[in-house]
Structure 1
């Protein structure tokens, strides 16, 4: 049944004006309810896999990466770093992430970086660690699987023989992702460690990475400055 207070009489312009004002206020509130809140939680609508594109990240993406980390909710931060992570810690981490030898792939939706896969050397060039951070709006959408595929291709082409993934014993989503690519999962100090042994490089794997880079480059061209994801950064 319609609300009698929201249904103005045709001959009462004052009540009609107030009803229109209330409707506008509701729509404005609905629009403002999406995006990151003051606590770092992001209420953006859930994204589908074809809503964005994947590409490698460069040093020029440092601010985007920082803002992506700041948008992670407490569960996402703990899943990524195996501990609570403050905003100050995430800012420092982003500043040191684009080091020599590290390969980062990102998933971008409407100019906003929503998920990242990191491939970091572990001293031995044949061994690396893979880590993933996915915002709540992109979880359970296939984004993590695609990022893993890109990470494995990059590892193959760089001569990496062993990739390790550390995750909390309670992080079922990450364990499920690891099981898609390996059955070598072990428990160490309360965490789950997955080991993936990529095949060696081939002309086909090199071509796949180059083609992926090309599509990512074209995708970046259509990103507009207005879509920058600086909303999470605060003074």
Structure 2
């Protein structure tokens, strides 16, 4: 089954490079290009791609707002967004993740990693390994807690605020969520808790449903915000 990709970037050469790379793979195809955030939203609604490769800084509306509009609309709720960013844009990354993005890549990532990342997101998984996501979340949450002279930003405050897990989350699911937040993969969780791969997968699925999380990235965020994983 061919994975349909929408490329959103305001630079023509960048879009052309991504198109050439994606179209070189037999299981991937670019179904459209957008040079603004609003154009990306419109194309996503019309073409319903599997994955949107989204730049953050674009004219009109930026990639964060475009991501929120795409993932928040019923007609495009199944579209996955993969954000392109750099490490000096952490605040924007988390705003995008909270807005529904399924993960992010650095702009200097290797071509093979970009192609693999598109496939990972298309099948409904988080793009980055939880351990990488965890380190970025810790850094951002710490920054939001300390704040600057003017205090933490609005998006940082929303991220850092704690919340209670639903009562329907079982004690075993709490254990699984804590291990996800600590960066463990499913096989590692199996070994740690001495449970089968099928049981682990079932627990992860239940957590996704109960926490209304899109993917594993959002489970990592939930683990931190609920206090199951500390920032130290």
Same fold (TM over 0.5): no
Structure number having the greater strand percentage: 1
Structure number having the greater helix percentage: 2
TM-score using structure 2 length = 0.27
TM-score using structure 1 length = 0.27
Q: Work out which of the two has the higher radius of gyration on C-alpha atoms and give 1 or 2.
A: 1
